[in-house]
A and B are shown apart, each in its own frame.
Chain A
């Protein structure tokens, strides 16, 4: 039992380390990071809680009025399960089938079952947290609009408690299938990125459309009830909570716990085989080719590109903004008539449409922070650049160039789409391209300078450098703050001059700032880089 407790403590510690970093400091930095993390989590939880609350409120009133309260709780179970599944299926894959510490743990006098329990426990904790948000929203929505009895409350609490076990079981199954599909693939990170983006896209569609869909569902409650009735487990869950039926409650609990019990038995029986079988992609034999001799700067740039493309975590976290920027450009092009309504007699005068669009591009460019963790990502291989006969500024230039190449390409595409959408004049085309591109350079420089100031070189998992670094936090929010200043400047000046000219002041300011920051990077920054 003490071994199991120790394993669970290790799991919790690794989870904590993933999000807060591992450095224990005595100067209160750790406490500050913990507080910031808790505040962010609370913010996300409350935001999602309100979204769910709004949707559940619509359903509770409608389904209760139609006398099919059980459908409400069946829908709750479905939604709760779906959110938990999306939230933890990749973690299940990583924790259950691809954990890095299996060899170490199996070499210790530990029961494999205990190792498995500690991993399932972490998944259950994560699922329970997600479920708590959904369940709280569903429970409160029902209690406000519909009658409750002690039995229905007990039934709801029991179902809410047991649903995460069911989600863990299904996540374990799908985690296994995804692991099976990706283990022999050569470019695993790209596939993981594609999987993640597909999940994210599906998630965004569901979140955006959920209110409409639920409105439609509440109008056809009888049809929904007819379709859900044959799915016994949903019927039992619904009847157990809405009607306080103890038999249905018992049947529902058995149905939700049985898959978990089965998953546990199967995983226990196959655990050692699962974690000790080596699965590698088919070996690619080397075929000698003529040397592609390149310049130092090109070699450094290619290295940065390979680093980026090799890591799904890096691509998703630091490069997602670029994707969003292009998507936003397309959205602007499609939705321009609706957007124009806000400016033609709407919130702002029409002449502000163009500067708002251009500053919006800057704001989106601030979300692409490829350069911010790039120094940290050198990690233990930093010696390669330090021992090489290189100007210390050269690797930093390559990092900046790569940031600008990715973010700049997305910015140009988005700027072109915006210009087409607003039917920009020639001068507006120039401004729409120059200002956001200068901002891309600014974001790249800010990320690098912050990372030189706050590097994390002793990471065990690269996600620590990518997600938890102070550099990432400061550069992203600092750049977002800078867009506010730019907006203030053009808005203030536009009271006295045309908006294009006011944006010209932004260009001058940003250009000067970029030049100063670049100068600082290749002198003081380079000196700092060689001392890391």
Chain B
């Protein structure tokens, strides 16, 4: 579903991501862990086609993101770490905008209804986004990401700002998405969430992949927190 091969991204002389290799298969929830500035966001943004990169190759569902970004982007969705949406639109107008961009037809009505009800913001859709709380914006960003039924969803710290019930709903949705054959690649600092939710996990340190594999392979009998802290030393 997502294949990252020898990805290198430099900012000047500093390599933010250095020769990174990862493969996320259909049906997998893949957690991406690292300290602040480790290169998680740069990797995710590169995979979404937002950032260009210096070396390597990224394919989304077999499509090279660098060579055919439009086709690759149609198959994925991205949720940033901070939901900076169009504050001047109402929630529903933003969702309709996204649906138009991704070519979602009449099916959008039912999808919006279902997802907005699930996150408890259905009645707020007519409100301007500027009136939304951080959590509501995050929920709207999640709904927008799911709207075109992408195969691959990439999220940067998706649980920040969500209330416990919505965080639970999101976890359920992530699992449902993968059960339908999709894949999720997300970064998080909440190791307990990663430990319970992810099928596979990768730990990145100063742009280099330190360890990756199934949860059992990475942590063995220890906790993910212990492994992470040990690797960070």
Contact = CB atoms under 8 A, between A and B. Distances in A.
A389 B86 CA distance: 18
A27 interface: no
Interface residues of A, number: 35
A283 B132 CA distance: 12
A369 to B, nearest CB: 19
A35 interface: no
Contact of B127 (A284, A287, A307): A284
Contacts of B78: 383, 387
B168 interface: no
A381 interface: yes
Contacts of A259: none
Interface in B46-87: 48-50, 52, 69-74, 78, 80, 82, 84-87
Nearest to B48: A387
Contacts, number: 95
B189 interface: no
Given A306-B88, A384-B86, A386-B50, A299 B80 contact: no
A383 B127 contact: no
B82 A296 contact: no
B97 A302 contact: yes
Contact of B101 (A287, A291, A388): A388
Contact of A380 (B84, B103, B122, B123): B84
Nearest to B88: A310
B165 interface: no
Given A280-B131, A302-B97, A380-B84, A293 B89 contact: no
Contacts of B23: none
Interface stretch (B10-18, B106-114, B174-182, B212-220): B106-114
B35 interface: no
Nearest to A292: B96
Nearest to A189: B88
Interface in B218-233: none
A286 B122 contact: yes
Contacts of A179: none
A303 B49 contact: no
B133 to A, nearest CB: 12
B123 A389 contact: no
A42 interface: no
Contacts of A391: 70
B172 interface: no
A228 B49 CA distance: 71
Contacts of A307: 86, 88
Nearest to B101: A388
A251 interface: no
Contacts of B131: 280
Contacts of A295: 100
A390 B101 contact: yes
Interface in B105-161: 105-106, 108-109, 113, 122-127, 131
B86 A286 contact: no
B123 A285 contact: yes
A103 interface: no
Contacts of B103: 296
Contact of A286 (B69, B71, B126): B126
Q: Which residue, of A298, A300, A311, A383, has the highest number of chain B Cβ atoms within 10 A?
A: A383
B106 A291 contact: yes
B58 to A, nearest CB: 14
A480 B174 CA distance: 55
A291 B84 contact: no
Contacts of A298: 100
Contacts of B93: 306
Contacts of B97: 299, 302-303
Given A280-B131, A307-B88, A310-B88, A531 B109 contact: no
Interface of B: 48-50, 52, 69-74, 78, 80, 82, 84-89, 91-93, 96-106, 108-109, 113, 122-127, 131
12 contacts: A288-B109, A291-B108, A293-B100, A293-B106, A296-B100, A299-B101, A302-B97, A303-B97, A306-B86, A384-B85, A387-B50, A389-B69
Interface of A: 280, 283-288, 290-296, 298-300, 302-303, 306-307, 310-311, 379-381, 383-384, 386-391, 531
